[in-house]
Amino acid sequence: MGSGKEKKQKKPLPLGPNKVKRKQQNLKKMKINSKSNENSKTKSKMKNSEKNMVSFPTAAEQLKYFHEQYQSANRVQLSSIELESFTETCMLELNRNQAQNSSPLADHMKVAFGPSWKESLCEKELDGKMDPGHPSLLVISLSALRSLDLLRELRPLTSECRAAKIFSKHMKVEEQISSLKNRVNIASGTPSRE
């Protein structure tokens, strides 16, 4: 007994000459449809890859993004005076000719500092322009391992420039204070210690 609705079992129909032909036609249609779907998928992938090309933000776009992220993270609304302290000249437009991966990071830094990169990054003393403990280049990443990877990518620069590691969990504060009393050109670390 039950709800009064009995499930009717469908009896398989015997294969007749028409049914065999319909099955063959359906199989052909399915093959044709799958081929056209594959073609449309490859076309859409090509269009998507063209759309996903790396677009380089301008200095104005970078500045706007920085302001938005800073205000969002700190839950504050910056005044116009505070917003004026960072200008478009504070932002660096990336070199469009170089590949955007970490291997030419040292090359990007050379471009960022201009033709006098060696003077600003590698000089031991900058005639009162730079106090000890104020690096010219500060690399911040979320993990100590990534920070070390980025520091390795800057090895062409760090062979001539003094680099410091600044980690919140892995190094004592006293050790880092003593190392930052000297001139440090490049510092790399995690956000909670900077």
pLDDT tens-place string over residues 101-127: 544 678 778 877 778 888 777 776 555
| Amino acid 26: pLDDT | 74
Task: Quickly list H helices, the chain.
Answer: 17-51, 59-74, 80-84, 105-113, 117-122, 144-153, 155-158, 173-180
pLDDT at residue 38 above 80? no
Residue 122 CA to residue 136 CA, distance in Å, equals: 9
| Amino acid 41: pLDDT | 57
Give domain limits for the chain: 94-189
> Is-contact 22 15, C-beta < 8 A?
no
94 vs 140, residue with greater confidence:
140
